[in-house]
Structure 1
Amino acid sequence: MAKGIMKHLEETFGKQDRLARQKISSALFSAKMVDSTSILDHMMRMNKYFQELEGYGSIFELDFKIEIIFATLPDYYTSFIVNYHMNRVTVNTIFELTNMLTEAKGALKKSKAVALVTEKSS
């Protein structure tokens, strides 16, 4: 009798785990950062998805996480991503990448402002 109950519980909760993993995976792979979201908020959301999936037993290498995050960023981060790959930058944590992206966002804003001033004055 106890074995039957355990089997039923494993089947029931195993199905719920698969459904939860599927929902989180779907949210992770369809995530896109929008302009109104700060990079810090976006990175916290992405890291939360990874942590939730890891809680269900999924294992992700840091490089894979970084590539997924890069795929979610707006086009204005393209130059950062290209430089990251060309210079073979290495980070040890998502937190380090978050700091780099925050700094890049500041630099992107400055260069965008300079470009706007240049375009307007010419």
Structure 2
Amino acid sequence: MLRTKLENVDTAFDIMDQLQDMFGHKSNQAHFEATKKYANAKMVSGMHVHDHFIKMMNYFQEVEFHGASTDEKTQVGLILNNLAPSFLAFTTNYFLNKLEYDMTQLLNELQMFEGINGGASKGTEN
């Protein structure tokens, strides 16, 4: 069926365009699975905050690829929510003082906090 549909298409560009029209729709299931990844991405014991941060950013990009976007304030909240228990003092301070960091500031502050408190997280795995 696919061959007959595309046999009168002249160029590779036109074939790719036709295939994109047929199969390029973003799947609701793929969107859900990508969203579930960042919602459940808890920072594990021994992981550096930079690595956790990059993992979360990749999840946000994956969700965006599947047709959804998450604003930066929500992304910051999700990252803070999924930190290891050793970052409890940082997150408490962030929310109590109503701080608002962009992603670069957040990563810098988290790394500074991690450095002051002795390196990679020492929380429990979730």
TM-score normalised over the length of structure 1: 0.71
- 2:25 counterpart residue number: 14
The unaligned stretches of length 5 or more in structure 1 are 111-122
Query: How far 1:103 moved relative to its partner?
Result: 0.6
Say if 2:73 is the partner of 1:63: yes
More helix by share: 1
- 2:89 counterpart residue number: 79
> Given residue 49 of structure 1, which amino acid in structure 2 is its aligned partner?
Y
- 2:112 counterpart residue number: 103
Write the distance in 2 (CA, Å) between the matches of 1:83 and 1:91. 12
Range that drifts further, 53-62 or 29-38: 53-62
Aligned length: 105
SS of residue in 1 equivalent to 2:117? helix
Query: How far 1:11 moved relative to its partner?
Result: 6.8
> Given residue 26 of structure 1, which amino acid in structure 2 is its aligned partner?
K
- 1:46 counterpart residue number: 56
> Given residue 92 of structure 2, which amino acid in structure 1 is its aligned partner?
V
Query: How far 1:12 moved relative to its partner?
Result: 4.6
Query: How far 1:9 moved relative to its partner?
Result: 6.8
The correspondence for 1:34, drawn from 44, 47, 51, is 44
SS of residue in 2 equivalent to 1:60? coil
Percent identity over paired residues: 24
Q: Which has the higher contact order (CA 8 A, sep 6+)?
A: 2
Deviations 1:67-118 (A, max 9, x none): 11112111111110111112222212x22211110111112228xxxxxxxx
TM-score normalised over the length of structure 2: 0.69
Write the distance in 2 (CA, Å) between the matches of 1:89 and 1:76. 19
